[in-house]
Amino acid sequence: MLLLTGALLALSISSASVSASSAGQEAFTAKDAIPILKAPEAFHEELVLKPLNDGSVYSHFQFTTHIGTVMDEEHFEGAASNLFTHYNLFPRSIGQILHSFDVEELHLTFTQGRWHYGDWGYPIAPSVGTGVELWAWLNDENKQTDTNWKGLTNTLSGLFCASLNFIDDTITIEPKLSFRNEGLYNVHTRSPAAKNNTESRTNPRKLRYGSLPHENVCTENLTPWIKLLPCKNKSGIASLLKSHKLFDTRFYSMAIHVRPVCEDELCSVKSLELVQSVTTVFDVARHDGSYDWTMTGLFEREITQACPLATTSKVVLHLPQTTEYRNQYQLVPFPPQGAYSIGSTQDNIQEIAVYDLKTDLETHPASTPFQISLRWENSRPKSVLPISPGIVAHRYFTGYGQEHGGLAIEIHNNNEQDVEAIYLDTLPWYLKLYLHTFSIQLNGKTIDNQRDLVQKMYYQPAVDRSRPAVLELALRLPAKSMVKFSVSFDKVFLKYTEHPPDANRGFDVGCAVITVQLPRERGQIGYGGLDHLRIYQEREASLVQSRLTMDEDDGDEAQVIKRQESEMDRIRVYTETLLVSLPTPDFSMPYNVITLTCTVIALFFGSIFNLMTRNFEVVEPKGAKDAKGKGKSD
Amino acid sequence: MAQRTAETRNEGPLKNTPAMNRSSNTTAVFSTALALRLALFQFPTLVSILGGQVEIATPITSFKRLSEGVFLYRNGVPPYDGGVFHQAPLLLGLFYPVISSPILVKLLYILSDLAIGFMLLRITQIKDRDAAKDERIRHDLTPNLGLFWYFFIEMFDQFRPFFIIVFQIHVFIFAAPISIKLRNHPLFVAFLLSTVMGTFKGYPSVGDASLYLGLLPLCSEIFKYMRYSFLIANLFMYSSLLAPIFWYLWVYVGSGNANFFYAIGLVYGIGEIILMIDTTYALMRRDFEAQSPPQPSDEASSHGWDREVVQK
């Protein structure tokens, strides 16, 4: 299967490159009067490490590639077609995919394991749903979205050696409230001032979302992912990526995100940003119970130099947040410029140690290879700051037997204030949802007036073998509360060919996703999703700051909102994936069933045919010649 | 609807009571039926258990699915734009105003039951009615007492459309020959065709059985010509007893598999088929006896209707 997809991919890539270059030439001849200046491409690499409260070590690799143009707004579209004719740092395979399928934004995440919100807080990576998650905003100018989506899934399937081609119509959805556009560019165009100028320029675009909860992630997916990096894993932070160690972890997630962003506050310089990330949670204490770790111990590899192509190359360590007294641990080496704090208020302050590999490794050859170790007094922390994530959600099945079932979702709001949240649930068509059984409990008590909690509800009923059921709710979660939804469903009886080879294992049901704006809090790993780098980087920090000051012109109210939003982070909380077992037929029975059923039907047909076509006659006594009884009705 | 109509089975024979004390008897029977239903509705668990039984509720008769359809319609979601609701738009219209009030729904069921009983009564009086129905092809493979669900679960993909066509044709192909051959017995034709449909339709339930078993006593004169009534009665009892048990073993306990329930469906189907064949045979035999009664001088007369007869 994969070989075949690979061959198809090769074909589609070659044809795509032909069409891309011809389109590029056309664009060039048509627009050669326009000054198209290539902005330098830029590549940033970064590794964020954080010791977690349960002794695990969180690591987040993030590689950011920008490909940009210096363009004013009306020429941006023309430049976009020119964008994909030259490749230096930006991976050509991704560029061609974006170009040939009219993709504006692309998010693909492979995840193995389950993220434990209660122990670990929120991750930097925005998607942590088990399995594969793919969502994209596609340009719908030519009304080709469905074709493009199909092409996109199949091509990515070949590129990453994954079963992404199974994201077909039966699992693809179009969320109405969740998975909005990301990136500063889109934030910018959403602000009222920018909207007036660019209203004519906004393209019709469509969202597509699909997930494969049962997809396993392994080395064959990581290898093509590494190939997209400018330095591969030959140098720089990526040289730590050893699949042997990465997949021997409690949690592993790998993603690519492509989105348009602004390079300056007026958004006159736009660029396309490709973020590649790998997130793992190492179980350090597994062997001997010791919470001590070294970078070599975690990755079994070393960084000898920064990637020469990288503009910035940093390792960021979130220092453990201990209570009682500070010096419970020893960090070697401590950064020469010292640790500093991010966050503005008492609630979200976080001490970080930043190591700049460019300067450290290139100017101090003695520090090669780069090494960090963290040791605790007595190998364990005495006391750490507990983590309580603002929103935690769980989803589970209720009921028994293989005929009916129920779905229950619990959302805990630990915040001191009400929180607006959007809940998205996709259920495969073989669970027949009965929305009239939908009920809500608030802190254990069933409430009748659902309007207080559910402000909007969007429901798409499933159609057998063609589309899933989608339930999307805009919620207002009361402060310090537990809201529980429940709904019942019937399990569908599938044809024997629709069951997987391991039919009695059951079917996986993907995560539900809760999108929520939360205030940044202390002790959490990293907020800001993909934008977290901007918190560390002066360049980005100033950009965010200037954007904020510009928005102050919008008026006091908008200013207040903006200021609040700057302290808020949009987070997606993923629930567990579920396993549902459906009633199975006897797979060895097709011939028996066909023959037995047909026999019974033939029995009836034959007998009725007999009765309908023949008449009664009296049997003649022996030797008698003339008939006694003749036909009765005809 | 299904479980309610199922109970009308009991009323069928009672409708054939002699004409002289009919009116007083009728009132008694109808009030007993009303009281029985009111009493049964006092056990909500019984109603929900029966409503969930696969022998009773099929995808096109399930009250749960009807509730969902009405709920979707009420909330502005097109009810047919999904895989749950397959029922007739008229049912949607009928239940739309009443479904929020359980009392009205119960009342509707009771009234329709009584109406069915009354109509059977009228038919007995007139003995001159006909019926016809048609079916739509669906792909819901929820098990029932019919012969199709397991057949199409197990069928090879490439043959599925062919067999769906063949089986659906099979349901109504008998209408023409039966109507022609038995044109002098419209009531029996109604019984036979409703049995054919109740047996070979895609989603039969005991509600369908209640229809033809309700019509059967209207032709009680043929009973004495039937050869396999004991076997038929046994097959019906056997399957109605074992069907819920085998379903439970398969779906809930897991100690049985789909073949158990399928086998019971097959037995039930054979019972229905033998019932049809035997009653048709009995009717034709009775006709034959009426048209050519045994001669008093005949040798066979000593055997009454039991003389040697063959079909040719």
d(CA B306, CA B311): 14
Residue B22 is predicted with a pLDDT of 62
User: Residue A503 pLDDT more than 50?
Assistant: yes
Do the chains contact at B309 and A493, CB–CB below 8 Å? no
The answer to whether the CB atoms of A611 and B311 lie below 8 A apart is yes
Mean pLDDT taken over chain B: 82
- Tell me the per-residue pLDDT of A296-312, one tens digit each, with 9 for 90 and over: 999 999 998 899 999 88
Highest mean pLDDT among A91-95, A154-158, A181-185, A533-537: A154-158
Q: What is the pLDDT of residues A63-101, one digit of tens each?
A: 998 887 544 444 445 445 556 667 788 898 998 898 899
Whether A495 and B152 lie within 8 Å, measured CB to CB:
yes
Q: Which is more confidently placed, A377 or A520?
A: A377
Q: Residue B249 pLDDT more than 90?
A: yes
Average of per-residue pLDDT across B33-39? 89
Dihedral sign (CA A435, A440, A445, A447)? negative
> Would you call B184 and A633 a contact, using CB atoms and an 8 Å cutoff?
yes
- pTM of the predicted structure, to 2 decimals: 0.81
- Is the domain of A116 the same as that of A57? yes
3-state secondary structure of A421: strand
The pLDDT assigned to A83 comes to 61
What are the sequence ranges of the domains in chain B?
1-126, 141-312
Do A249 and A276 sit in the same domain of this protein? Answer: yes
A531 and A507 within one domain: no
Alpha-carbon distance of A391 to A412, in angstroms, equals 6
Name the phi and psi angles at A434, rounded to 5. Answer: -110, 100
- The predicted pLDDT at position A341 comes to 74
Mean pLDDT of B77-91: 86
- Reduced to 3 states (helix: H, G, I; strand: E, B; else coil), residue A267 is coil
Q: To the nearest whole angstrom, how far is the Cα of B206 from the nearest Cα of chain A?
A: 19
- Chain A segment 590-609 residues within 8 A of B by beta carbon are 590, 593-594, 596-597, 600-601, 603-605, 607-608
Same domain assignment for residues A103 and A249: yes
Least confident of A277-286, A382-391, B20-29, B109-118: B20-29
Using the predicted structure, report yes or no on whether residue A7 has a pLDDT greater than 70: no
Residue A448 has a pLDDT of: 86
Instruction: Say which residue, A545 or B233, is predicted with more confidence.
Output: B233
Counted domains in chain A: 3
Q: Does A632 touch chain B (CB under 8 A)?
A: yes
Q: Is residue A573 part of a domain?
A: no
pLDDT for the residue B29: 86
In the three-class reduction of DSSP (H, G, I as helix; E, B as strand; rest coil), residue A199 is classed as helix
**Enclosing domain of residue A602:** 590-634
pLDDT of residue B56: 85
Label residues A577-589 b or e (16+ Cβ within 10 Å = b). bbebbbbbbbeeb
Query: Percent of chain A beyond pLDDT 90?
Result: 45
Across chain A, mean pLDDT equals 80
Q: DSSP of A368-417, one letter per residue?
A: PSB--EEEEGGGS-S-B-----SEEEEEEEE--SSSEEEEEEEEEE-SSS
Residue B136 confidence (pLDDT) above 90 = no
Q: B266 vs A597: CB contact, 8 Å cut-off?
A: yes
Tell me the chain A residues in contact with residue B308 when contact means C-beta distances shorter than 8 Å: 618-619
A401, A585, A614 ranked by CB distance to B312: nearest: A614
Answer yes or no: do A255 and A364 share one domain. yes
Residue A344 has pLDDT above 70, yes or no: no
* Chain B touched by A461 (CB under 8 Å): yes
Evaluate if residue A54 carries a pLDDT over 60: yes
Residue A134 lies in a domain: yes
Size of interface A-B (CB pairs under 8 A): 179
Does residue A582 belong to any structural domain of this protein?
Answer: no
CA distance B244 to A181: 53
Residues from chain A that touch B199, judged by Cβ atoms under 8 A, are: 604
Shared domain check, A355 and A279: yes
End-to-end Cα spacing for chain B:
44
Is the same domain home to A345 and A480?
Answer: no
According to DSSP, residue A467 is labeled B
Taking CA atoms, A427 is separated from A208, A223, A574, in Å, by: 16, 32, 15
B62 confidence band (pLDDT: 50, 70, 90): confident
Per cent of chain B over pLDDT 70 is 83
- A295 CB neighbour count, 10 Å cutoff: 23
Measure the CA angle with vertex A59, ends A578 and A567; round to 5°.
Answer: 85
Q: Is A274 left (phi over 0), alpha (psi -120 to 50) or beta?
A: beta
Contact between chains at B266 and A596 (C-beta distance less than 8 A): yes
Which of A106, A481, A436 lies closest to A260, judged by CA?
Answer: A106
3-state secondary structure of A111: strand
B275-286: average pLDDT: 93
Check whether residue A307 and residue A436 sit in a common domain: no
In tens, the pLDDT along B179-221 reads 999 998 988 999 999 999 999 988 899 889 999 999 998 888 8
Query: Which residues in chain B (51-110) have CB-CB distances under 8 A to chain A?
Result: 52, 54, 64-65, 67-68, 70-72, 75, 77, 81-84
Tell me what pLDDT residue A84 has.
65
In chain A, what percentage of residues exceed pLDDT 70? 76
Indicate if A361 and A510 belong to the same structural domain. Answer: no
The 10s digit of each residue's pLDDT in A164-209 is 999 999 999 999 999 887 755 544 444 444 444 444 456 688 999 9
Q: Which residues contact B300 (CB under 8 A, 6 or more apart)?
A: A618, B294, B307, B308
Measured between alpha carbons, how far is A20 from A85 in angstroms, rounded to an integer? 7
Three-state SS for A229-249 is CCCCCCCCHHHHCCHHHHCCC
- Would strands A312-318 and A42-51 be described as parallel, antiparallel, or unpaired? parallel
Best probe of the B interface among A608, A613, A630, by most B CBs < 10 A, is: A608
Which one of B144, B150, B303 would you mutate to disrupt binding with A, by most A Cβ within 10 Å of its Cβ? B150
DSSP string computed for B271-304: HHHHHHHHHHHHHHHHHHHHHSPPPTTSGGGGGG
Same domain for A357 and A376, yes or no, is yes
Indicate whether A381 and A400 sit together in one domain: no
d(CA A558, CA A347): 24
Give the per-residue pLDDT at A567.
60
Residue A158 in any domain: the answer is yes
ipTM: 0.82
Residue B116's SS3 state is helix
Q: Are B168 and B147 in contact (CB under 8 A)?
A: no
- Residue B307 sits at the chain A interface (C-beta within 8 Å): yes
What's the mean pLDDT in B248-258?
90
SS3 A476: strand
Residue A266 or B223, more confident: B223
Binary contact (A617, B310; C-beta < 8 A) = yes
Q: Is the pLDDT of residue B88 over 80?
A: yes
Domain assignment present for residue A576? The answer is no
Tracing tokens 């704090």 back to the chain, one arrives at A341
Angle, vertex CA A18, rays to CA A17 and CA A22, nearest 5 = 115
